[in-house]
Amino acid sequence: MKPAAVIVLAAGEGTRMKSSTPKVMHAIGGRSLVGHALAASRGTDPDRVVVVVGSGRELVTAHLAEIDPGAVPVVQEPRNGTGHAVRIALDALAETGAGADGTVLVVCGDVPLLRAETLQALLDRHHGEGNAATVLTAIVPDPTGYGRMIRDDSGAVTAIVEHRDATDAQRAIAEINSGIYAFDGALLRGALARLRTDNSQGEEYLTDTLEILRTDGHRVGAMPAEDHHEIHGINDRVQLATLRRLLNDRICEHWMRAGVTVIDPATTWIDVTVTVENDVTIAPNTQLHGRTRIATGAVVGPNTTLTDTEVGESATVLATHATGVEIGPGVAVGPFSFLRPGTKLAARSKVGAFCEVKNSNLGIGSKIPHLSYVGDGDIGDGTNIGAATVFVNYDGQTKSRTTVGDHAFVGCDSMLIAPVTVSDGAYVAAGSVITKDVPPGAMAVARGTQRNVEGWVGRKRPDSKSAKAAAAAQAASESSTEPDSHDERRMDDTAP
Residue 486: pLDDT band (50, 70, 90) is low
Q: Please state, as a whole number, how many other Cβ atoms lie within 10 Å of the Cβ of residue 88.
A: 19
Backbone dihedral region of 108: left (phi > 0), alpha (psi from -120 to 50 degrees) or beta?
beta
Name the DSSP class of 399.
B
Domain ranges of the chain: 5-231, 252-444
CATH of domain 252-444: 2.160.10.10
How high is the pLDDT of residue 356?
98
pLDDT digits (tens, 9 = 90+) for 89-141: 999 998 877 666 899 999 999 999 999 999 999 999 999 999 999 999 999 99
Measured CA angle at 391 (ends 387, 397), to 5 deg: 150
Percentage, residues of the chain above pLDDT 90: 88
Q: Over the range 172-201, which residues count as b (16 or more CB within 10 Å of their CB) and which as e?
A: ebbbbbbbbbbbbbebbbebbeebeeeeee
How far apart are the C-alpha atoms of 367 and 337, rounded to whole Å?
13
Residue 90 carries which side chain, given as an amino acid letter? L
- The pTM for the full model equals 0.90
Residues in Cβ contact with 44 at an 8 Å cutoff, skipping those fewer than 6 apart: 2, 3, 6, 105, 116, 119, 120, 123
Active-site residue identified among 163, 232, 370, 407: 370
How high is the pLDDT of residue 199?
78
CA 80 to chain centre: 36
CATH of domain 5-231: 3.90.550.10
The reply to whether 486 belongs to the active site is: no
